[in-house]
């Protein structure tokens, strides 16, 4: 059962998964996600901690993409942007504008693909699920939506960061991008 509105239970660091455990853990996550979808709690991703399974495993199920994340980590991230109305099965009804990267490079141990690049919505979902495995929740990335003018389509190094931190871009999200 997907736990809801329990921040304390979700803020756990997950143990690595062994090859022998992989299939069974993915199967459990798939059944829980399918059950949630059947009862009207539609989701496209689910991580171990969301069902009190403290293992570093998550799944992403989009119409044409079925992705398993096992001991996965984000190696590089590019192009920070505000993602509007991010939600989480563990916090029904709550949506936030979040700062996410439009492109992430991922190392995925034990399952194929071992290394891949995710962009767009897939990048957001991968970041969301990997964050769950590292005790980070989507509202930790909450930002207020900045007002952009036609003259200000690009962010300069010395401009205020688009994430709303009030720091210069070069000292804020650009540093995250340089990792």
pLDDT at 146 (0 to 100): 55
**Architecture of the domain defined by 7-141:** Alpha-Beta Complex (3.90)
The one catalytic residue in 32, 86, 96, 129 is: 129
Place of tokens 């920070």: 80
Residue 161 has pLDDT above 70, yes or no: no
Rounded CA-CA distance 173/163 in Å is 8
Ranges of CATH 3.90.45.10 domains, the chain: 7-141
Residue 148 has pLDDT above 90, yes or no: no
**Average pLDDT of the residues in 8-22:** 93
Nearest Cα residue to 99 out of 57, 144, 131, 130: 144
Give the residue-averaged pLDDT of 139-151. 67
Average pLDDT for 4-11? 92
The answer to whether 15 is a known catalytic residue is no
Question: Which pLDDT value is given to residue 108?
Answer: 87
Which residues have C-beta within 8 Å of that of residue 93, sequence separation ≥ 6? none
Neighbours of 152 (CB within 10 A): 12
Name which of 102, 79, 82 is nearest 143 in CA terms. Answer: 82
Going by pLDDT thresholds of 50, 70 and 90, the confidence category of residue 102 is: very high
């Amino acid at each position: 059962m997907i736990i809801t509105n329990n921040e304390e239970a979700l803020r756990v660091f997950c143990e690595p998964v062994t090859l022998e455990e992989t299939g069974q853990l993915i199967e459990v996550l798939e059944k829980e996600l399918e059950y949630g979808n059947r009862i009207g709690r539609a989701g496209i991703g689910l991580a171990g901690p969301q069902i009190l399974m403290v293992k570093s495993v998550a799944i992403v199920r989009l119409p044409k993409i079925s992705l398993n994340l096992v001991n996965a980590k984000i190696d590089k991230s590019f192009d920070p942007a505000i993602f509007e109305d991010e939600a989480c099965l563990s916090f029904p009804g709550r949506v936030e504008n979040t700062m996410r990267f439009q492109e992430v490079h991922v190392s995925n141990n034990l399952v194929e693909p071992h290394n891949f690049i995710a962009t767009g919505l897939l990048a957001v979902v991968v970041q969301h699920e990997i964050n769950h495995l590292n005790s980070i929740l989507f509202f930790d990335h909450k930002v207020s939506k900045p007002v952009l003018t036609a003259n200000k389509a690009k962010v300069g190094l010395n401009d205020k960061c688009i994430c709303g931190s009030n720091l210069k871009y070069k000292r804020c999200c650009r540093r995250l991008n340089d990792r």
